[in-house]
A and B are shown apart, each in its own frame.
Chain A
Amino acid sequence: MPWRPALRPAERAGAILRDAGCRGWVHARRVDDPDDDIGLDPDDIVPIASVYKAALALVWALDADAGALDPRERLSLRPSGRTPGPTGLSILSDDVEMSSRDLVRLALTLSDNAAADHLLDLLGGPARVSAVLAGLGHEITVRGGTRHSLAMGLQETGTPDEASYMRALADIHRDVVTSQYDPALATSASARTLTGLLADLWGDRLVPGEHGDVVRGAMTRQVSSHRLRSGLPHDDVDIAGKTGTLGTLRHEVGVVTFPDEVPIAVAVLTRSARPERHLPVVDAAIGAAAAAVVHPLRAPL
Chain B
Amino acid sequence: MDLIKHLRYFVTVAEEQHIGHAADELSMTQPPLSQGIQRLERRWGLRLFDRRPRGVQLTEAGAALLASAQHVLDAADDLDREAGEKSDDGRPRRLGLPGDLGSVAMDCAALAAEALTPTGTTLQPVIAATTSLVDQLGRGEIDLAVVQHPAVVDGLDLGPVHSLPRTLAVATSHAAAAAHEVHLPVALPPRSHNPPAHDQLVDALRRAGYTGAVRSVATPAEAAALTASGLTCTVHTLADLPARLRPLAGPAVDLRVRVATARLAPADEQRDLVAHALETRLASG
Contacts and interface: CB of A to CB of B under 8 A. Distances in A.
Nearest to B195: A21
Interface string B163-174: 100000000000
B199 A21 contact: yes
B133 to A, nearest CB: 14
A173 B152 contact: no
A275 B150 contact: yes
A96 interface: no
Nearest to A281: B199
A172 B200 contact: yes
B150 A173 contact: no
| Most central of A23, A172, A174 by chain B CB within 10 Å | A172
A18 B151 CA distance: 10
Interface in A160-189: 172-175
B158 A273 contact: no
B154 interface: yes
A21 B149 contact: no
B138 interface: no
Contact of A274 (B158, B161, B200): B200
A198 interface: no
Contact of A174 (B153, B161, B195, B196): B161
B149 A175 contact: yes
A23 B161 CA distance: 20
Interface size class of A (residues with CB under 8 A): 10 to 19
Contacts of B203: 276
Give the most central of A175, A272, A273, A274: most B CB within 10 Å. A273
Nearest to A272: B196
Given A175-B149, A273-B152, A20 B195 contact: yes
Q: Range of interface residues on chain B?
A: 10 to 19
A22 interface: yes
A282 to B, nearest CB: 9
Contact of B195 (A19, A23, A173, A275): A19
B256 interface: yes
Contacts of A276: 200, 203
B196 A274 contact: yes
B256 A18 contact: no
Interface string A10-23: 00000000111111
B151 to A, nearest CB: 5
A19 B163 CA distance: 24
Interface string B130-157: 0000000000000000000111111000
Given A174-B161, A175-B149, A23 B154 contact: yes
B151 A173 contact: no
B258 A175 contact: yes
Given A18-B152, A273-B152, A275-B150, A173 B163 contact: yes
A273 B150 contact: yes
A174 B158 CA distance: 12
A44 B197 CA distance: 26
A273 B256 contact: no
B252 to A, nearest CB: 9
Nearest to A171: B161
Contact of A21 (B158, B196, B256, B258): B196
A54 B253 CA distance: 40
A21 B152 contact: yes
B245 to A, nearest CB: 25
Interface string A105-122: 000000000000000000
Listed from nearest, the 5 A-B pairs whose CB atoms lie closest are A21-B196, A273-B150, A273-B196, A274-B150, A274-B196
Interface of B: 149-154, 158, 160-161, 163, 195-197, 199-200, 203, 256, 258
Given A19-B195, A175-B149, 19 more contacts: A18-B195, A20-B195, A20-B196, A21-B152, A21-B196, A21-B199, A23-B154, A173-B161, A173-B163, A174-B161, A175-B158, A175-B160, A273-B151, A273-B196, A273-B197, A274-B150, A274-B196, A274-B199, A276-B203
